Amino acid sequence: MNKKLTEIRNLLMEHHDWFQKSIPLIASENITSPAVDEACASDFSHRYAEGWSGQRVYAGCKYIDQIEDICMDLTKEYFKCIHADVRPVSGVVANLAMYNAFTSDNNGKMCCMAIVRGGHISHGPRFAKSGNEIFGTAGTTRGINVEYLAFDNDEMNLDIDGSAKIIREFEPELVLFGGSVFLFPHPVKELSEVAKEVGANVGYDGAHVAGLIGSGYFQDPLREGADVMTMSTHKTLPGPQHGILVSNREDLIETLKACAFPALLSNHHLHNVAGLAIALAEMLEFGKDYHKKVIENAQALGQALSDIGIKVLMEHKNFTESHQIVVDITDFEKTIGLGGDIEKLLEEANIILNRNLLPYDIAQGRHYQNPGGLRIGTSEITRLGMGKSEMVDIAEFFKKLLVEMNDPKKIKNEVIEFRKDFQEIKYCFQSPSKAYEYLKFY
């Protein structure tokens, strides 16, 4: 058994070592501060506290109650709202709570963005009535029939007129905005008005852009018509893996609470609530500066990749207004392959990102396992202190690998050298250094 323990610890250390020597570009990831890590590894990680703060069904909760109250207060301050439920253990659970609140038990009806155009996997029920181009076409699940909103491939955004028509015809109970490929603010204001015409509630999945919204750089869904905003807490908001549901609808608060607990949760993850509270405090302090740079870096990386001849979508709109850019790599199909092959090649050179469907991939016969695109995010590299000149350096690595077809093992050594200057996590409070050393195996 000792051998197994050693093996696990060695694997952990190898993983940490690898990521310290890599360029992390996955748009749904970020890196947590030492203070967040300390909270997440605290005694709370094996405690129970079912229910709402102050009304728990377990003893031993006097400290988590206070922390959770602070976490809710910080959430309300950051997102300017009157209700914050910080118990959902993930963004998907927060979405399910929203579906519980707004759709009928059987044959509920929702409109959202198609997964193949950037909707999140939890938006398109596995067997959506309208047909889910990725996973299947028959029946319904979670009792929700889904009709996808119209999308404009050229603008990488929802098409307002087409979506309004769909909402009026389908008459959903819930119209959901937000998604996983998310370059520009969605037309929440325009389409919320249409949603209200047919009596639908409006939701917004802000998982990817939560930090950008909180820091005031993206859109402001709760003031543009969203009744509820859900999110995960570890993407542009650099907290631990967790979920939040927020609202400004006073009349819905008790319903929303009950739709999360006991409907979907028994215990929530107390250590992550503590870590989340710290991450929110960090973003209230440093978010304005951090998130401005995240977006600037995404635009700079888009420009730098475009300058070396790599096709980045949406050049006419400066590539993005978020933390993401989307690259069309179909030009490399004959020399290297498609998204899956390129993702693997880049990983061999310690550049970590994920392949992604382009909005026109399915129509052109490409499959989600080996699609025509890459999604690249700048949240983590910005938190590691990189700026515009490093975006040019990163684009150079792409050129060496994809255009000049250098051996990825050779480029990996260059990446390791490059990463040496970016080892400290920025935009956070001073580290509780011992916890840091232990937890990160530094």
Q: Which residues bind ligand DSN (CB under 6 A)?
A: 28, 120, 180
Q: Would strands 243-247 and 228-232 be described as parallel, antiparallel, or unpaired? A: antiparallel
Backbone angles phi, psi at 56, to 5 degrees: -75, 165
Q: Which is nearer to ligand DSN, 185 or 377 (CB)?
A: 377
Cα separation, 48 vs 57, whole angstroms:
9
Q: Which is nearer to ligand DSN, 109 or 120 (CB)?
A: 120
Cα separation, 238 vs 1, whole angstroms:
36
The CB-of-120 to ligand DSN minimum distance in angstroms stands at 6
Q: Which is nearer to ligand DSN, 75 or 180 (CB)?
A: 180
Residue 90, token pair as written in the block? 């993930």
The CB-of-121 to ligand DSN minimum distance in angstroms stands at 6
Residue 209, token pair as written in the block? 């852009």
Tokens 């009304």 map to which residue?
55
The CB-of-128 to ligand DSN minimum distance in angstroms stands at 17
The CB-of-377 to ligand DSN minimum distance in angstroms stands at 9
Using CA atoms, how far residue 417 sits from 53, 349, 391, 423, in Å, is 48, 12, 16, 12
The CB-of-380 to ligand DSN minimum distance in angstroms stands at 13
Q: Which is nearer to ligand DSN, 119 or 287 (CB)?
A: 119
Cα separation, 355 vs 339, whole angstroms:
5
Q: Which is nearer to ligand DSN, 120 or 269 (CB)?
A: 120
The CB-of-295 to ligand DSN minimum distance in angstroms stands at 18
Residue 314, token pair as written in the block? 């949406």
Judged on CB neighbours under 10 Å (0-12, 13-18, 19+), 55 is exposed
Using CA atoms, how far residue 237 sits from 71, 117, 267, 271, 278, in Å, is 14, 23, 23, 17, 11
Q: Which is nearer to ligand DSN, 64 or 94 (CB)?
A: 94
The CB-of-180 to ligand DSN minimum distance in angstroms stands at 3
DSSP three-state, residue 421: coil
Q: Which is nearer to ligand DSN, 108 or 243 (CB)?
A: 243
